[in-house]
Structure 1
């Protein structure tokens, strides 16, 4: 897995969201698969103005504490600024500007590469000099190249 550090500007994301924990996601009451289903059924890019609608964000934010606590996940797009009447159906979050450690996954089946990447990220931060900021981390998917069997994504982890 390739990594690099970058500074990112603040962005405003709009999408569908759920509150969960890693413990819940490891058990039978997983909420994230249903959230993805809700996102795809919403057809939000045809309902609200977005920037770069081919880029899909899976944002992890509003952390209760750290990776062990509750957090909010939002799946959606960068908001275009002008508010539409359908936008009230969706949740909007401001992701602060900051420094990010970016992990680029290997190519493979989407659920495998994402799960493997997060396992590598958690292991990385147990031994790293970088410290997670827990202000807003996100997975970035490019729908133009989204092949569920050969997915490659970037995961942006906010660091101090």
Structure 2
């Protein structure tokens, strides 16, 4: 899967917090993610569905904070009880994957990210990654890259 390098402004994502292993997009822990999305979609969201991955730990097989929720344009979009993640402006690798079901598309998308990292085609910054879903068959990941930030 190909990707392109893009500059992004600051990204705000709010919602429910899941503390999960880096590989939670696959396997038995995926059920908790699916349940969180079901609860999220039972609400009226002030912005489009989105996911943020923040608070990475450097150790192999470690945990990160996973926000299942919605994109905020301003702090005024934040719903009571939700947690807000702020991803800094900077350079991101933009991956796109399409298919029949998002439950298959999202793991395929992240396998492409992990492959690109393992092959040395990207060097991740681990300042925060972001997913968005333009339609019911498409997932996009914006993966923070190491190096200069846009606002420096």
Under a length normalisation based on structure 1, what TM-score does the superposition of the two structures give? Answer: 0.78
Structure 2 residue 8 is matched with structure 1 residue 22: no
- Alignment match, 2:42: 41
How far apart are residue 103 of structure 1 and its match? Answer: 0.6
1:2 touches 1:105 (CA, 8 Å); kept in 2?
no
1:15 touches 1:44 (CA, 8 Å); kept in 2?
no
Between the two proteins, the alignment pairs up a number of residues equal to 145
What secondary structure sits across from 2:42 in the alignment?
A: helix
Any residues of structure 2 matched to 1:1-160 within 5 Å, and which? 1-22=1-22, 26-30=26-30, 31-45=32-46, 53=47, 55-65=48-58, 68-81=61-74, 83=76, 87-142=79-134, 145-146=135-136, 151-160=137-146
Give the superposed CA RMSD.
2.3
What secondary structure sits across from 2:56 in the alignment?
A: coil
Unaligned runs of 5+ in 2: 147-152
Higher helix fraction (1 or 2): 1
Runs of 4 or more off by more than 3 Å in structure 1?
A: 22-30
How far apart are residue 42 of structure 1 and its match? Answer: 2.9
1:66 touches 1:134 (CA, 8 Å); kept in 2?
no
Distance in structure 1 (CA, Å) of the matches to 2:122 and 2:34? 30
1:16 touches 1:38 (CA, 8 Å); kept in 2?
no
